[in-house]
A and B are shown apart, each in its own frame.
Chain A
Amino acid sequence: MTSTLKGITLKGSVEVVADFFSFGINSILYQRGIYPPESFTRVSQYDMNLQVTDDPKLKDYLNSVVSQLKAWLLDCTVQKLVLVITCLETNEVLERWQFDIECDKSAKECSAPREKSIKAIQNDIRSVLRQITATVTFLPLLETPCGFNLLVYTDKDLEIPEKWEESSPHIISQSEEVRLRSFTTSIHKVTSMVAYKKTDSL
């Protein structure tokens, strides 16, 4: 629906960002092998082939997180979304994919659509996703069984919804950080970065 309009509204921007997160998280889970590759199906999005999970429990979890995230994006109260990969045996954090969200609050008051072509946004998203796929080359292998978790950094005074709770930021000790590309819809700007635990075998 936003592809037919020239400009982009707050709602449209929220949808674009939520879709990016949904596909991005699925891609990361597939690339890092958190779930077996046969539980993913290939879909076409942003003019490229992406892998999306079939596992119903995982789908439910992602949908609930993304729907809540959309509500927070509309209010411009969310600051970061973090995907944390933890080793299940030793309970230590191995990888941390962090997406910073900067929201232009003036879009909440003024509801006129902004001049930003959907094609340009999709191009940027495509380059970000390609870069995520390329990061697999230098990230250390995950040999132990791992689980993942999604953390959301929001404003302090925000009311915590029913199924959510406060958690620690799960910061990696002795980490290497790499900053990845960013994209902006002129209302929301999303910057990506990945932090991974330094391996001693070098």
Chain B
Amino acid sequence: MDSEENTTVFSTLKSFNSFIGCPATSSSTSGSTLQSQYKRNMDWLEAAEKVQSYSRYLQLDQEKKQMELSHKRVRVELEKSANDSACNLKLLEGKNSDMSARTKKLEEREKEALRNLSERVEANRELSKNLESLGKKVEERDARLSASNQTIICLKDEIRDLKQKLQNQDSILSNKKLEKQEVQEQLDLQRRKYQEMSQLCQSLQAAQSTCSEHVMKIKELERRLALQEQDAAIVRTIKSEATRVPDLEKEVKRLRGENLFLRDNRENCSLLKEEVEGLKRKLERTAKAKEDLVNMELEKERLTEKIRAWENLGQSTGLNIRKPEDLSREVIQIQQREITLQEENYTLNSRLRNMERSLSELRAQMSQQHGKTLEEQKKREGQSVLLDRLQRRFLLLTKERDGMRAILESYDSELAPAEHSPQLSRRLKEAEEMLLKTQALNTEMEAQLTKVQDETGTLKMQLQTLEFELESLRKQQAAPDDVCSVSKEEVNMLRQKIEDLEAERQRLEREKEILEMRLERHNLQGDYDPVKTQVLHLKMNPTSVGKQERQQEIESLRQEAEHLRDVVRKLQEGGHSQLDAILHSAELSLPPPKEVLDLQKQIESSELRNQRLKEVFQKKIQEFRTVCYILTGYQIDIPIENQYRLTSVYAEHMEDWLVFQKGSNGNMQLMETAFTKTLDELVNLHLHHQNSIPVFISAVTLELYSRQTTV
């Protein structure tokens, strides 16, 4: 169809082109042909346009058909593809489910794997830790091993030293033995000598005993001799005394006679003494009587004189006196006269005193009046002053009032603006307050002033009264002379009294100073007045405690000294043989000397060190043995000296052991045991042929191991 359309298009186009070409030949025609040409052109244009549009339409139609075709194709393809995709989708879904199942499985496996991994990691960590600890332990074991090796080396050195010492000691011992033998020989010699000497001693002792017996006999004889001599001397004295006996008898007689005589004399003496005493008393009495007599005579003379005077009285006084009655009469008269005179005296005195009193009263009144006049004057002055002040005050007040009035008027005049009134009133109040304050101050000052003026007035009054009194006293002093002289005497007496008192006062002051110094001294020393003060102290004070402790110490020391003295006495009495017994019985608890203490301490420390070393050795040896067992696989025991028993770790029975003997030349030999009988080949190979014990032992280990694993 398209091609048909295309061919039509082409054909039209061809015709068009030919059409277009034709007119080119016919262009000579004229204008009508131009119009026709134009018309033709226009027709051709229109036809061309139509053709064009038709061709476009055809094109479009073709395109549309093509598109529809393509559309269908595409749709078909799409359906195919959709089907394919649906199939794919199903396949994919199936695959997806498979995959999801697989993923789930894989996830589960992964989780398990993770768990396993974590477990393994933990196990790993633990193992690593164990490894570390084991490593540390191994290190420690290594260190300990090295240390133990060192100690073993040290011990070996010590053992060597000890062996050397032992050898030295052995040599010394042998020397000592030799010496001992020598000494023993000497001892035998000495014993023999001793026996001889003992025999000699015995003989000597016998001789000594006989000698001592002789000596005792001699002493006895001497004693007897001395006694005899004493007896002889006594006999001689007795003889001499006996010769003297008759003389003594004579003397005795004489003395007896004297005695009697003296006794008589004594009695006479006592009689005489009594007489003497009697005479003495008489003498005293007579002396007293004489004195009395003398006194009496004196009194008599006095009395006679008195009587004579009394008798002459009448002549001396010129009165008519003959008898005592006259005298008494005269006396009475005189007394009466005296009484009257005294009465007159008293009246005169009373009058005098009255006069004096009135005088003093008048003087007092005068002074009072004077004082009053002064007071009046003062009052008048005060009044005048007050008046002046009041006038001044009045003036001030009037001035103030005028001023205040002026201020008030000014304020009233300015009262129109209302804003100023509160201020003004405030100012007014302040001014009033100030005024009141100043007035109060003023009154205070005035009161103070009045007080001061009063005081000055009183002082002036006192002064004037004193002056007045002084004047009166002066006037009194200028008065009669007899009063003055009496007062002068009084004044002198008073002055002397004053001087005496002054001197006494100074003396007392000095005494007081001395006493104060003494008191101060006593105070410093610690004296006190028992009436006002008491001294207290605590019952349990350090001094008393110290004294008690000292006492106890002294007591204990005394007891110890006594005890030691007893021990020493016992020792001195007992002698050396009983030394130990005495000391033991004494139970001395002497503190051991310092050296002993030091040595004890050293011993303790060395024992402790030994103990520690033993423990350390034990531990190290045990460790070493276990490590050897672990590393070599053999436990090495020493059942007997120089015999070593090896038990393998892989041994089948407990009694499967290898026994090696160390020979005197130092090499090891394998002993025959039940177990070695089973190892003949190895023995032959390694020991007899190869002559190597380590190889043999390792071969045995391998054999046993192989036996164990196969079994």
> Residues on A close to B: CB < 8 A?
58, 61, 64-65, 79-80, 82, 84, 86, 88-89, 91, 96, 98, 100, 145, 147-156, 158, 160, 163-172, 175, 177, 179, 193, 195
Residue pair A150, B526 in contact (C-beta under 8 Å): no
- One of A65, A88, A177 near B525 (C-beta < 8 A): A177
Interface centre among B525, B528, B531 (most CB of A within 10 A): B525
Residue pair B537, A152 in contact (C-beta under 8 Å): yes
Residue pair B538, A169 in contact (C-beta under 8 Å): no
Q: Once bound together, how far apart are the Cα atoms of A171 and B522, in whole Å?
A: 10
B533 at the interface (CB under 8 A from A): yes
When distances are taken between beta carbons in the complex, the residues of chain A under 8 Å from B544 are: 147, 149
On whether A164 and B545 interact (CB within 8 A), knowing A171-B526, A195-B525, the answer reads: no
Identify the 3 closest CB pairs spanning chains A and B, nearest first. A147-B546, A147-B543, A177-B524
Q: Mark B542-573, 1 if CB is under 8 A from A, else 0.
A: 11111100100000000000000000000000
Q: Once bound together, how far apart are the Cα atoms of A28 and B445, in whole Å?
A: 65
Residue pair B524, A193 in contact (C-beta under 8 Å): yes
Instruction: List 8 additional A-B contacts (Cβ < 8 Å) besides A88-B543, A164-B536.
Output: A58-B542, A64-B538, A147-B542, A149-B544, A164-B538, A165-B536, A169-B527, A170-B526
On whether A98 and B542 interact (CB within 8 A), knowing A151-B535, A153-B534, A169-B535, the answer reads: no
Residue pair A177, B521 in contact (C-beta under 8 Å): yes
When distances are taken between beta carbons in the complex, the residues of chain A under 8 Å from B537 are: 149-152, 164-165, 167
Q: Once bound together, how far apart are the Cα atoms of A139 and B39, in whole Å?
A: 169
Residue pair B542, A148 in contact (C-beta under 8 Å): yes
Interface centre among B532, B537, B541 (most CB of A within 10 A): B537
B539 at the interface (CB under 8 A from A): yes
When distances are taken between beta carbons in the complex, the residues of chain A under 8 Å from B531 are: 156
Chain B interface residue number, banded: 20 to 34
When distances are taken between beta carbons in the complex, the residues of chain A under 8 Å from B538 are: 61, 64-65, 150, 163-164
When distances are taken between beta carbons in the complex, the residues of chain A under 8 Å from B527 are: 169, 171
Residue pair A88, B542 in contact (C-beta under 8 Å): no
Residue pair B526, A96 in contact (C-beta under 8 Å): yes
Name the residue of chain A whose CB is nearest to the CB of B546.
Answer: A147
Q: Once bound together, how far apart are the Cα atoms of A84 and B535, in whole Å?
A: 13
B interface, over-half SS: mixed
Residue pair A79, B541 in contact (C-beta under 8 Å): no
B24 at the interface (CB under 8 A from A): no
When distances are taken between beta carbons in the complex, the residues of chain A under 8 Å from B521 are: 177
When distances are taken between beta carbons in the complex, the residues of chain B under 8 Å from A89 are: 550
Q: Once bound together, how far apart are the Cα atoms of A1 and B671, in whole Å?
A: 98
Residue pair B541, A169 in contact (C-beta under 8 Å): no
Name the residue of chain B whose CB is nearest to the CB of A148.
Answer: B542
When distances are taken between beta carbons in the complex, the residues of chain A under 8 Å from B540 are: 61, 163
Residue pair A175, B534 in contact (C-beta under 8 Å): no
For this complex, 15 residue pairs linking A to B, each with C-beta atoms less than 8 Å apart, are A58-B542, A61-B541, A88-B546, A96-B526, A98-B526, A152-B535, A153-B533, A155-B534, A160-B534, A163-B538, A163-B539, A165-B539, A167-B535, A168-B535, A169-B535
When distances are taken between beta carbons in the complex, the residues of chain B under 8 Å from A91 are: 547
On whether A149 and B539 interact (CB within 8 A), knowing A169-B526, A169-B527, A169-B528, the answer reads: no
Interface centre among B524, B534, B536, B540 (most CB of A within 10 A): B536
When distances are taken between beta carbons in the complex, the residues of chain B under 8 Å from A164 are: 536-539
Residue pair A158, B534 in contact (C-beta under 8 Å): yes
When distances are taken between beta carbons in the complex, the residues of chain B under 8 Å from A80 are: 526, 528
When distances are taken between beta carbons in the complex, the residues of chain B under 8 Å from A166 are: 534-536
Q: Once bound together, how far apart are the Cα atoms of A169 and B525, in whole Å?
A: 10
On whether A154 and B533 interact (CB within 8 A), knowing A147-B543, A147-B545, A163-B539, the answer reads: yes
Name the residue of chain A whose CB is nearest to the CB of B529.
Answer: A156
The smallest C-beta distance from A54 to any residue of chain B, in angstroms, reads 15
Residue pair B536, A88 in contact (C-beta under 8 Å): no
When distances are taken between beta carbons in the complex, the residues of chain B under 8 Å from A82 are: 526
Q: Once bound together, how far apart are the Cα atoms of A147 and B549, in whole Å?
A: 11
- One of A96, A156, A163, A172 near B532 (C-beta < 8 A): A156
When distances are taken between beta carbons in the complex, the residues of chain A under 8 Å from B523 are: 100
Name the residue of chain A whose CB is nearest to the CB of B549.
Answer: A88
When distances are taken between beta carbons in the complex, the residues of chain A under 8 Å from B543 are: 84, 86, 88, 147-149
When distances are taken between beta carbons in the complex, the residues of chain A under 8 Å from B530 are: 156
Residue pair A156, B524 in contact (C-beta under 8 Å): no
When distances are taken between beta carbons in the complex, the residues of chain A under 8 Å from B536 are: 151-154, 160, 164-167
- One of A88, A153, A179, A193 near B535 (C-beta < 8 A): A153
Q: Once bound together, how far apart are the Cα atoms of A155 and B542, in whole Å?
A: 24
Name the residue of chain A whose CB is nearest to the CB of B550.
Answer: A88
When distances are taken between beta carbons in the complex, the residues of chain B under 8 Å from A158 are: 534
The smallest C-beta distance from A118 to any residue of chain B, in angstroms, reads 30
When distances are taken between beta carbons in the complex, the residues of chain B under 8 Å from A167 are: 535-537
Name the residue of chain B whose CB is nearest to the CB of A161.
Answer: B536
When distances are taken between beta carbons in the complex, the residues of chain B under 8 Å from A145 are: 546
Name the residue of chain B whose CB is nearest to the CB of A34.
Answer: B542
Q: Once bound together, how far apart are the Cα atoms of A193 and B521, in whole Å?
A: 11
The smallest C-beta distance from B535 to any residue of chain A, in angstroms, reads 5
When distances are taken between beta carbons in the complex, the residues of chain A under 8 Å from B550 are: 88-89
Q: Once bound together, how far apart are the Cα atoms of A169 and B537, in whole Å?
A: 10
Interface centre among B526, B527, B530, B534 (most CB of A within 10 A): B526
The smallest C-beta distance from B551 to any residue of chain A, in angstroms, reads 10
Name the residue of chain A whose CB is nearest to the CB of B541.
Answer: A149
The smallest C-beta distance from A47 to any residue of chain B, in angstroms, reads 30
Q: Once bound together, how far apart are the Cα atoms of A86 and B538, in whole Å?
A: 16
